[in-house]
Structure 1
Amino acid sequence: MSEDSGLWLLAAGPAGAAALYWALYRYYRNTDKSHGFEHETEIVAKPVTGSDRKVGEVKGTQQRRIDGDNVGDYRRRVTRLR
């Protein structure tokens, strides 16, 4: 009887490790909560509008940035069409 009482402790190690692994996997992967953009988002394509016009020319590597770029201004750069 005393031999059987310690058997559960021996089985608890691998069972606990498997449960911890599965819990951490589900927490960090959270595949059940992730958003499948390709399958769950409806995109209505519209014709491309706009015009092409040359505004200037940068030659060489002296200028690191283009004048008037909006890289840092996220809200102005990404706007929703209404």
Structure 2
Amino acid sequence: MGDDSGLWLLALGPAGAAALYWALYRYYRNTDKSHAFEHETTVDAKPVTGAEGKVGQVTGTQAPRIGGDNVKAYRHRVRRVA
């Protein structure tokens, strides 16, 4: 009787691991509660509007840095939370 009494404890490990895996899978995947966007949502498409005006122009890449960057100003970029 002493040998069989702890056997259920050994079976509890893999069964608990399988139950935990299934619970986490169901929690994060929740496929039964997912929303089929393509089938359940209506989208009213409208014609594309806009202008063809030129905004700006970049010629060449001579400057090694972007003007006004704050890479080296560490204390200015990052502030301690009070």
User: 1:19 maps to which residue?
Assistant: 19
Identity of aligned residues (%): 75
Greater percentage in helix: 1
1:20-56, Cα deviation, whole Å (9 max, x unpaired): 1111222232333444332332111111122211233
* Matched length: 65
The alignment partner of 2:43 has SS state of coil
Q: Give the aligned residue type for 2:51.
A: S
Give the RMSD, CA atoms, in angstroms: 2.8
TM-score normalised according to structure 1 size: 0.54
The alignment partner of 1:23 has SS state of helix
Gaps of 5+ in 1: 66-82
1:43-80, Cα deviation, whole Å (9 max, x unpaired): 11111122211233221234859xxxxxxxxxxxxxxx
1:60 aligns with 2:60: yes
